Amino acid sequence: MRQPLFEKDIGFSTRAIHDGGGDGGDLTPPIHQTSTFILGKSSYVYTRAGNPTQGILERKMASLERGESCVAFSSGMATISAVMLSSMHKGDHFISTDVLYGGTYSLFVDLKRLGIEVSFVDTSRTEEVRDAIGDKTKLVFLETPANPTMKISDIRGISKIAKEKNEDIKIVVDNTFMSPYFQQPLKLGADIVVHSATKYLCGHGDALGGIAVGDEKSVENIRKILVHYGGVISPFNAWLIIRGLKTLALRMKRHEENAVEVAKFLEEHVKIKRVLYPGLDTFPYFGIAKRQMHGCGGMLSFELCSEEDVYSMLQGVKICKLAVSLGTAETL
């Protein structure tokens, strides 16, 4: 992988804007909207295996997550699928957070068809992770904060426990909710970090994408799955996400500011039973959130006192849109 532009440590926004760029002299990188390349004229052969625009995105994300290498995919689920298939075989076992994105949960259940077993445990309790590790355990998958309860797992603590049992166990963290601006799992002991780049990384709700960052060997194995299974990100979507990364720091700060205001408002509302947001000192995982995250992000959950109030609230909101996904300028 190409060396980063800057040898010394520099600010997050500077790396997001300047690091990982191309060599063509363009201030804004071009979109290499081609399926194939002329042999002998380029280091690239076919866009399924690599493309200059994809390469810029991958280098930027490796820099932002402080990893050795990165590979981009067509979606977050394509990314997670490739990570799992590159790490395990028939007869292997892995551990997963019990509360996580529905698509990830469905995939993990479906892996049983391939003879890969999963144990869903409360990974916010490190002792449950320890108890679930067996001789066939190859991987621990953490979604932290978890969707939708915001439950937080101790990345450093779980990594230590797993490596003490077997140093070859991989720790994979879905960092979609925090982005590398607020959390960098590799620095906490994770081996691989994944993102749905559709969300905060893109930030505009106009491109699907996925990211996996880790050491050179792991990423190379993940890339093989990409080439064989074809979950390739389009050059245009890669370019849109590159554009989004330039303002990631600014957007995450504002997302957090807005979330804090909403969380405080909801916490004092008579019809709200509880608010789940890492930035509140009433949040059950407030302590670990302060230790492993640089901020608390823009996602929160809350519980109403009455089920009937849920429907009247959904009918009454004017600005919020009822839609899946997150990380855009709109409130969903």
Q: Measured between alpha carbons, how far is residue 133 from residues 28, 83, 84, 159 in Å?
A: 47, 19, 17, 12
Residues 6+ apart with CB under 8 A from 35: 46, 47
* DSSP H or E run through 242: helix 235-245
Q: Three-state SS for 69?
A: strand
DSSP string, 94-132: EEEESS--HHHHHHHHHGGGGT-EEEEE-TTSHHHHHHH
Omega before 4 cis (within 30°)?
no
| Residue 93 and residue 117 in contact, taking contact as beta carbons nearer than 8 Å | yes
Beta-strand relationship, 192-196 and 210-214: antiparallel
Burial of 129 (0-12, 13-18, 19+ CB in 10 A): buried
**Tokens representing residue 281 in the block:** 């000192």
Q: How far apart are CA 28 and CA 134, in angstroms?
A: 49
| Residue 56 and residue 21 in contact, taking contact as beta carbons nearer than 8 Å | yes
Catalytic residues: 48, 101, 174, 199
Beta-strand relationship, 272-276 and 210-214: unpaired
Output the CA angle 224-230-235, nearest 5 degrees: 105
Beta strands in the chain (DSSP E): 69-73, 93-97, 117-121, 137-143, 170-174, 192-196, 210-214, 272-276, 301-304
